[in-house]
Amino acid sequence: MSFLVPHNRTMVKSFNILVLACVVVIAGAYAGQGNAQYMSVPQTLSLESFPPFPAPDSLVTVSLSSFGTDVKDATIEWSIDGVAATTSRNARSIQVPTGNGERTTTVTARVVSAKSGSRTLTKTLAPGAVDIIAEPQTTAPEWYQGKPLATANAQVRLVAIPHLYKNGVRVPTNETRFTWYVNGAMILGGAQLGTNVTSVSMPRFGNLEISVIAESKDGTRSARSYLTIRPETARMLYYEMNSLYGMLTEAPRRFTTSKDELSVIAVPYYMDAGIGSGQSLTHTWTEDGTLLPQGTDPRITTVTRGNGRPTRNVEHTYTSEAYDFVRGVGAFDVTFTNDSNALPTI
């Protein structure tokens, strides 16, 4: 912007008055805008609950949230399912016990202010729950008592079992939307019907953090659950091929036998199910440093008495071309004796 500079006192005085008037007009315009913006700020009162997904038979904190409304000197009267909570009068929050999940709890706050008049706010608490079942798709022998554990890069099957009720009736799973999160990232495109079962991969390093939100189709019932899966180390254990021992669940460190030969099988624990029974691995067996011949089943090796030392050290190396993170070395001793009652040492 440019100005014409006056050259005499009269013109200077008139010029100053004109500039001052312009400043006043502009300031007034900005002040008017500021007042208009201030008056447009919404004045709201609401009730907020924490946790946002209440569980059955738990305590929920319901708080009065005010934006643009001064409730410092207001009178606040709380009630739970129509019963006055006199001990919480004028409190900004209240703790409310939830039911068993089959019924809702209604929280009411009546706020009376000299400036804002009387307002009645209502919050309905509908407790729910959702269970997460993790099924690592890893290997374990038939006699293993328990479920296989997850290892790095292994697949994990996840099943969500919702416990949502409406009017005392359980909401069917096929009428429930599920939102899955893996390590904080949403998967499957968000809330979807029929996605209570999904599969994910364990990370190469670290834990797998799982979260799922179950929500009824109408959005009135919801629950959330969290699960942390910590990786286990895959391992190889060794068992004698001897049906007389029955269900010998402990893998011995040393074998003792009175027979002329001993067959031992390598059993993988917690390896990705893609490795199957272990036959997809490459197995190398050595006895006291000497390579042992491969049999029909590469998981099994046979050590013979012969004329060698009574105790032999057997070393087993296993690798996988498909899974570069699956490789390892195991070892055990075999002692030949004339004692027919000899048993393996655990």
- pLDDT reading at 170 higher than 60: yes
The pLDDT tens digits of the residues spanning 255-264 come to: 888 888 889 9
State the pLDDT at residue 197: 97
Mean pLDDT along residues 218-234: 93
DSSP letter for each residue of 299-334 = TEEEEE-TTS-SEEEEEEEEE-SS-TT-EEEEEEEE
* pLDDT band for position 86 (cuts 50, 70, 90): confident
- What average pLDDT does this structure show over 236-243? 83
Domains of the chain with CATH codes: 44-125 (2.60.40.10), 129-229 (2.60.40.10), 235-336 (2.60.40.10)
Which residues contact residue 185 at a Cβ distance below 8 angstroms, ignoring those fewer than 6 apart? none
| Residue 26: its H or E element | helix 9-39
Percent above pLDDT 70 for the chain: 80
108 vs 36, residue with greater confidence: 108
Q: What is the mean pLDDT of residues 101-107?
A: 89
More confident call, 263 vs 248: 263
pTM score over 0.85? no
When pLDDT is cut at 50, 70 and 90, the band that residue 294 belongs to is confident
For residue 129, pLDDT over 90 is answered with: yes
pLDDT band for position 73 (50/70/90)?
confident
Cβ neighbours of 309 (radius 10 Å): 10
